[in-house]
A and B are shown apart, each in its own frame.
Chain A
Amino acid sequence: MTTEQFSCADGVLFPWKDKRRIGVIIMIVSRRAVICYGSTKIHALPKILIPPDGRYAKALSLSQPTYFYARNVCVVELSALERSGRCPPELFHKLKLLTETTIAQASPLIHEVIPTSAQEPAAGKLHR
Chain B
Amino acid sequence: MIAPDLLAAVNVDDLAERLDTVLEHRHLARMLDLVLHGMEWQKSLPPSDPVILRPEIAAVLGPQATTQLCSQITLFLGHISVVRQLIQKRMEAGMPIAALSQPDTRSFSERLTEDPAMPSEVFSRLLKAIYGDIAFLCLLDAARRQQILAPWLAATMAGYVIEGSRAHLSLLASMPGISVPLELIPVEERFDVGGARQRTAEFLLGAQSMALEAERRGQTVYFPSGAPDDD
Report A's interface with B, CB cutoff 8 A: 1-2, 7-9, 14-16, 21, 26-27, 29-30, 32, 34, 37, 39-41, 43, 54-55, 58-59, 71-77, 80, 86-90, 92-93, 96-97, 100, 102-108, 110, 113-128
Contacts and interface: CB of A to CB of B under 8 A. Distances in A.
Given A16-B221, A58-B17, A114-B201, 10 more contacts: A27-B207, A88-B109, A96-B123, A97-B120, A104-B205, A106-B207, A107-B209, A119-B119, A125-B83, A127-B79
A59 B171 contact: no
- 9 closest Cβ contacts across the A-B interface? A107-B205, A127-B46, A29-B211, A107-B206, A9-B113, A114-B201, A116-B117, A128-B52, A75-B214
Contacts of A14: 221
Contacts of B126: 121
Contact of B37 (A16, A27, A120, A124): A124
Given A39-B230, A110-B201, A96 B120 contact: yes
Contacts of B198: 113-114
Contacts, number: 222
Given A103-B210, A106-B210, A113-B194, A93 B116 contact: no
